[in-house]
Amino acid sequence: MYWGGNPAECHPRHFTKYTLMQKSKFLPRGRKDRTMILVDIRETKSGGAADIFLQIRPGKDFEVLTILRAILKGQHVNESAIAETGLTLEQLTDFIDRAKKAKFGCMFFGMGLSMTRGKHMNSAALLTLAAELNAFTKFVAMPMRGHGNVTGADVIMRWQTGFPFGITFNRGYPRYNPGEFSTVDVLVRGDTDAALILGADPGATMPQPAIDHLARIPTIVLDPKVTHTSRLARVHITTSVAGISAPGTAYRMDEIPLPLKPALKSPYPTDQEVVRRINEAVARKSHWIPDGGPMTILQR
C-alpha cells in the first residue's frame, strides 16, 4: 500500500527491486502474487501499477485513517463523515478486508501524507492502523524517504536520544514533540536566531514562511554545491561529496547501513572536518559576559 507517495517517479526502482516485481520463496509468481493499493488525492504515474486506486479529498487523510481504524474494530461510522472523504463505505471496507487477509502487508507513506495539514498526526494515525492490523496478520509501515541520508539521520538520532526527529536540547537533555520541535514548525514560529544546515536544501522544499525566516537570520550552509538555501545564507562552506570524495555511512530506506568509500579526491574538507574545526574554535573562545549584566555561562 502506498499512501501519499508517487514511487513511479520519485523512487523508480522501488516497484521492480523491492515491492511488486520481485519473486521469492513465498511469492514465486512475483507481481501476480501481490496486490497494490494506492491512496492519493490525484492520479499519478504510480496509478498505472496499482490494482486499486483510492482517490481521497485533499486534507482528509486523518479522517480516512480514523474511519479505517473504526471499521477494523467493528465500530459504527457516520455515513456523512465517510462522504466527506471522497470515498464510499464499500471501498473502505474492502481496504480493511484485503489488509486482514494479507499474509504480509506493508504501508509506504510519503510527503503527501506527512507534510499536509495533519502533519505528524497523519503519520501517527497510519502507524497506529498498521499496529492494530497486527492483531489479524503481519503488518509494517515505512516512510518513503527523500534525497540524501535522511534515514541515517533518523537512525543516529534514535540511537543517541531514543527519538528520530523533532528533538530539542534547550533544557540540556533531549525532548521529543513533533509539531512543536520539528524544524518546519520552529522556523515558521521564528523561534531560531541562527541556523546551521548540513547536506540539506530546506529553501527548496519548506513552506515559504520558514524560508523567509532562514533569510532573516544568520544561516550557515555546508554543501558541495550551490542550492536554494545557500543563495539566501550568510555563509556557504563548500564541502566534499559524501560517498564520492568523502567516506562515511549511508542508510537505505529500510535502515540497512551501507559503508561509503571515496572514489575521487577533493580539495574541499568533509562535513565532519568543518564541524570539528568549528567546535574547536568555539572551545577556544572565552565565555561571553554582557556589559553591565550578569555573567552568562554557555554550554556546548
Of 87, 118, 143, which residue is a domain's last?
Answer: 143
Same domain, 122 and 28: yes
pLDDT digits (tens, 9 = 90+) for 161-183: 999 888 999 899 999 998 889 89
Q: Is residue 289 part of a domain?
A: no
Q: Is residue 76 part of a domain?
A: yes
Residue 179: predicted pLDDT: 84
pLDDT digits (tens, 9 = 90+) for 221-271: 999 999 999 999 999 999 999 889 999 899 988 889 999 999 999 999 999
Q: Could you tell me which residues come within 8 angstroms of residue 17 by beta carbon, excluding any fewer than 6 positions away?
A: none
Give the CATH number of the domain where residue 55 resides: 3.40.228.10
Q: Give the residue numbers spanning the domain of 122.
A: 2-143
Same domain, 235 and 279: yes
Of 100, 122, 143, which residue is a domain's last?
Answer: 143
Q: Is residue 300 part of a domain?
A: no
Rounded mean pLDDT, 106-126: 87
Copy the grid coordinates of residue 25. 520463496
Same domain, 166 and 270: yes
Phi, psi of 290 (to 5 degrees): -65, 145
pLDDT digits (tens, 9 = 90+) for 196-222: 999 889 998 888 999 999 999 999 999
**Alpha-carbon distances, residue 77 vs 8, 74, 275 (angstroms):** 34, 9, 54
Same domain, 134 and 192: no
CA separation for the pair 73, 131 (Å, rounded): 13
CA separation for the pair 91, 250 (Å, rounded): 39
Residue 147 has pLDDT above 90, yes or no: no
DSSP 233: -
Residue 16 has pLDDT above 80, yes or no: yes
CA separation for the pair 169, 184 (Å, rounded): 17
∠ at Cα 274 (273, 280), nearest 5°? 90
pLDDT digits (tens, 9 = 90+) for 74-93: 999 999 999 999 999 999 99
Q: Are 74 and 137 in contact (CB under 8 A)?
A: no
Q: Is residue 185 part of a domain?
A: yes
Same domain, 9 and 112: yes
Same domain, 133 and 157: no
Same domain, 40 and 89: yes
Residue 112: predicted pLDDT: 86
Residue 285: predicted pLDDT: 84
Rounded mean pLDDT, 48-69: 95
Q: Is residue 278 part of a domain?
A: yes
Q: Which residue has the cell 489488509?
A: 99
Average per-residue pLDDT for the chain: 90
Percent of the chain residues past pLDDT 70, beyond the cut: 96
**Alpha-carbon distances, residue 266 vs 162, 207, 270 (angstroms):** 35, 34, 9
Count how many domains the chain has: 2
Q: Is residue 294 part of a domain?
A: no
Residue 288: predicted pLDDT: 65
Residue 287: predicted pLDDT: 72
Residue 111: predicted pLDDT: 84
Same domain, 98 and 132: yes
Residue 74: predicted pLDDT: 93
Residue 295: predicted pLDDT: 41
CA separation for the pair 74, 180 (Å, rounded): 34
Of 89, 110, 143, which residue is a domain's last?
Answer: 143
Residue 279 has pLDDT above 70, yes or no: yes
Residue 294 has pLDDT above 50, yes or no: no
Same domain, 116 and 188: no
Same domain, 36 and 58: yes
Residue 298: predicted pLDDT: 40
Same domain, 207 and 125: no
Q: Is residue 125 part of a domain?
A: yes
CA separation for the pair 68, 127 (Å, rounded): 12
Same domain, 186 and 130: no
Q: Report the range out of 110-114, 142-146, 188-192 with the highest average pLDDT.
A: 188-192
Q: Is residue 35 part of a domain?
A: yes
With bands split at pLDDT 50, 70 and 90, how would you rate the model's confidence at 296? very low
pLDDT digits (tens, 9 = 90+) for 21-56: 989 899 999 999 999 999 999 999 999 999 999 999
**Alpha-carbon distances, residue 151 vs 3, 36, 147, 156, 215 (angstroms):** 19, 24, 10, 9, 27
Give the CATH number of the domain where residue 184 resides: 3.40.50.740
Residue 230: predicted pLDDT: 94
